[in-house]
Chains A and B, each alone.
Chain A
Amino acid sequence: MNTPNTPAQAAAEHTTPAHGAPLTDRGGPAQPLLLVKDLKKYFPVRGGPLDRQKRFVHAVDGVSFAVPKGQTLGIVGESGCGKSTTARLVARLMEPDAGELIFDGEGVEEYGGLQLKEFRRSLQMVFQDSFASLNPRLTMQEAIAYGPRVHGVPAAQALAQARALLARVGLEPSQFGSRYPHELSGGQRQRVNIARALAFDPRLVILDESVAALDKSVQAQVLNLLQELKAERQLTYLFISHDLHVVHYLADQVMVMYLGQVVESGPVEKIYNGSAHPYTRALLSAVPSMDPAQRTEVSPLAGDPPNPINPPSGCRFRDRCPHAHALCAEKTPALQAVGGDIHHLAACHLNDLTSGHPLAGKELNP
């Protein structure tokens, strides 16, 4: 379907209330499914009674990215770098302080744009804790059918859909449909969560550490299921993880976050084989090797990430960076194309020959 030409046409599209009719492609294949521009979220920190100064945790500080249609964007980073906050902001479970969301060419919650309810239907989320994300008092089929029923699908039809979805994610509906969450294993529960996310025929699924809590063999099964579903339903994934192996396997694009900001992003092979930011290199060298002879002896990064209340000036990574220079404290590096490749962006002075960093452009060992 083409982009609606007139506002009236656009409005007519938005008023399709019937559930089940999946939101159709509007922007065409070149339009990214989701564009995020300059997303910000600061959490106020309460000081003591004598401390009048208002301070903020810069949880997400100016994050921009695009998720191309039918692809998987992996977001990686240390704990507390703002990965999950970004996911919640995108899902609008939290109100962003600033920033724009553009879903398939339409601004979310803008005048003449996509309504929040409509947006939420085309986007679903699977959480990390498979137990906490299922209501302990609902059976599996009730949990899956809840969403469609809220949107007015008759109970019998919603239950039938739920059972079909259970079958699709590999759980025999006659056996699992009427079970409760505590009667299932972690992997089975996560399958149910995936089935619930699919009940809306979403176009974008946010997977927030969805396989992190599963053991390796189950993780592999769930990852394969996710790959199958993606191909089958033309889904687009926003995959958040701290597990670099999993991201390598699943993602097409990778975005590396550090302290609420994007430090590097690009196609997965570029990031894994030719990373341009010292932080990405440190992260990748911290991945345990499959070969016992190649044990990591020295920790590639020392210390903890700095306090997000008062992030360091200039480059936020400078106090842990092996190549830090006085320049890094003065000037904030912008996300720039690495070596002329506009798909591979990194925020580091080392990649910019004109930045004035003495080591810029030189071959470095991390």
Chain B
Amino acid sequence: MKTYMELAPSAALTEEPPAAPPSRGYWGVVWQQLRRDPMAIAAGSVLLLIVIAAVFAPLLAPADPYKTSMIKRLLPVGSEGFLLGTDELGRDMISRLMYGGRISLLMGVVPVFAAFGIGTFIGILAGYVGGKVNMVIMRVLDVFYAFPSVLLAVAISGALGPGLSNSLLALTLVFVPQVVRVAESVTTQVRQLDYIEAARMSGASAFSIIRVHVLGNVLGPVFVYATGLLSVSMILASGLSFLGLGVKPPEPEWGLMLNTLRSAIYMNPWVAALPGVLIFLTSIAFNLLADSVRSAMDIRR
């Protein structure tokens, strides 16, 4: 019996294929789609601007965000030397907003990424193994899921005490069940597809099947879902700080700034609204970008 190696022209195996049409691959196509979407471009640019301002705050900020001045309290937007005015302790608003963005973005991104990692792992485990394991994992997480996310975040933060790391932990715990749910349902769907059966027919181990066939197809949808959580996480983090459960003063953080400037809303409404405007802008940009990524990734068939 001849094997296929003998039947195939051996020259074709070694020589480079002539002028193969470049296949962009899945992510290439997604990127191309995103670049054509004006909404994605707009949201992406706004986010990029905010991120740059926050990351390079020490270089870009015009003043020290902690330096107070009793004389220069609550200056309006556009005052000389203080582009966006000053807060109730006379600190430069624009510098504080830039520095505050670092913590706010951190609290938006870190819990979501932590939850993405933990949740995907648990979700794939539950979805791939199925049966009783799935039931135990999912019912335990349903307990977490039963609470409204704000209430759960406040409760965990309250129990752990205020502080940055505690609120990061609280937010992560809030998001894990949500990510697990998505990862589990996508894995359950993928697991039933014929290519998993074909992989099993080839005698591959469960680990290899998960790594090659499950992970690649589950990460995408879960990632899109997690992008949508970024804005929720930021708002929740701001909420925690607003309630005094997050970052402690004098640390600049958008939610905390919103809280302390609350009393100045009648004297200087524009300055008081600024942190809120930034929270709003960032979260809406995250949401729009997540929407665009979702539709760009939907190119099957």
The answer to whether A and B belong to the same complex is: yes
Q: Which residues of A contact B (CB under 8 A)?
A: 20, 22, 91, 93, 117, 120-121, 123-125, 127-129, 131-139, 143, 146-147, 150-151, 160-161, 163-165, 167-168, 173-175, 177-180, 182-183, 193, 196, 198-201, 232-234
Q: Are B213's CB and A167's CB within 8 A?
A: no
Q: Is the CB of B195 within 8 A of A135?
A: yes
**Residues of chain B contacted by A139 (CB below 8 angstroms):** 23, 25
Find the A residue at minimum CB distance from B16: A174
Total residues of chain B contacting the partner, CB 8 A: 38
Listed in ascending order, the chain B residues whose CB lies under 8 Å from chain A are 1-5, 7-9, 12-13, 17-21, 23, 25-26, 193-195, 197-205, 208, 212-213, 216-217, 299-301
Q: How far is the CB of A15 from chain B (nearest CB, A)?
A: 15
Q: Which 7 pairs between the two chains have the least Cβ-Cβ distance?
A: A174-B17, A147-B202, A164-B8, A133-B194, A137-B216, A127-B194, A150-B204
B26 contacts A146, C-beta separation under 8 Å: no
A244 nearest CB across to chain B (Å):
24
A131 to B198, CA, bound (A): 12
Question: When chains A and B are docked, how far (Å) is the Cα of A173 from the Cα of B200?
Answer: 25
CB of A165 within 8 A of CB of B26, answer no
> Which one of B8, B201, B203, B301 has the highest number of Cβ atoms from chain A below 10 Å of its Cβ?
B201
B250: shortest Cβ distance to chain A, in Å? 49
- The number of inter-chain residue pairs (CB within 8 angstroms) is 117
Output the least CB separation between B192 and chain A (Å): 9
A163 to B20 Cα, complex, angstroms = 13
6 contacts between A and B (CB under 8 A): A131-B301, A137-B26, A146-B212, A150-B208, A168-B4, A179-B23
Given contacts A173-B12, A233-B1, contact A147 B18 (CB under 8 A): no
Closest A residue, CB atoms, query B197: A93
User: Would you call A136 and B13 a contact (CB within 8 A)?
Assistant: no
Contacts A22-B3, A135-B195, A137-B26 given; indicate if A175 touches B20 (C-beta within 8 A). yes
Q: A177-B17, A232-B7 are in contact. List 13 more A-B contacts (CB 8 A).
A: A93-B200, A128-B194, A135-B195, A135-B212, A136-B26, A136-B300, A137-B217, A146-B204, A163-B8, A164-B12, A167-B9, A168-B4, A179-B23
Asked whether B198 lies within 8 Å of A127 as measured between CB atoms, the reply is: yes
B194 contacts which of A132, A137, A163 (Cβ < 8 Å)?
A132
Inter-subunit contact A234/B23 (CB<8 Å): no
Of the candidates A135, A146, A163, the one whose C-beta lies within 8 Å of that of B217 is A135
User: Shortest CB–CB separation between residue B147 and chain A, in angstroms?
Assistant: 28
Chain B residues, CB < 8 A from A183: 23
Residues of A within 8 A of B4 (CB): 161, 164-165, 168, 198, 201
Q: A93-B197, A135-B216 in contact; A22/B1 too (CB < 8 A)?
A: yes
Residues of B within 8 A of A179 (CB): 23
CA distance A127 to B200 in the complex (A): 13
Tell me if A132 and B5 are in contact (CB < 8 A): no
What is the bound-complex CA distance between A180 and B3, given in angstroms? 26
Q: Which residue in chain B gives the minimum CB-CB distance to A142? A: B212
Pairwise interchain contact A174-B20, C-beta atoms closer than 8 A: yes
Contact B203 A160 (CB under 8 A): no
B203–A133 touching, CB < 8 Å: no
B195 touches A132 (CB 8 A): yes
**Chain A residues whose CB sits within 8 angstroms of the CB of B197 once the complex forms:** 93, 125, 127, 133
Tell whether, in the assembled complex, residue A182 and residue B23 are in contact, meaning their CB atoms are under 8 Å apart.
no
**Contact residues in B for A233 (Cβ distance below 8 Å):** 1-2
Cα distance A117–B2 when bound, in Å? 24
Closest B residue to A133 using CB positions: B194
- Which B residues are CB-close (under 8 A) to A234? 1
Q: Which of B1, B8, B19, B26 contacts A167 (CB 8 A)?
A: B8
> Could you tell me the distance between the alpha carbons of A200 and B201 in the complex, rounded to whole angstroms?
10
CB neighbours (8 Å) of A133 from chain B are: 193-195, 197-198
From the candidates A91, A134, A160, A180, name the one contacting B26 in the complex (CB within 8 A): A180
Cα–Cα, bound, A198→B26 (Å) = 26
Q: Which of A125, A132, A151, A165 is in CB contact (< 8 Å) with B203? A: A151
The distance in angstroms between the C-alpha atoms of A164 and B19, with both chains bound, is 18
Which of A161, A164, A179, A183 gathers most chain B CB within 10 Å? A164
**Complex Cα spacing A182 to B5, Å:** 28
For A117, the chain B residues whose CB sits under 8 A away are 203
Nearest Cβ in chain B — how far from A243, in angstroms? 19
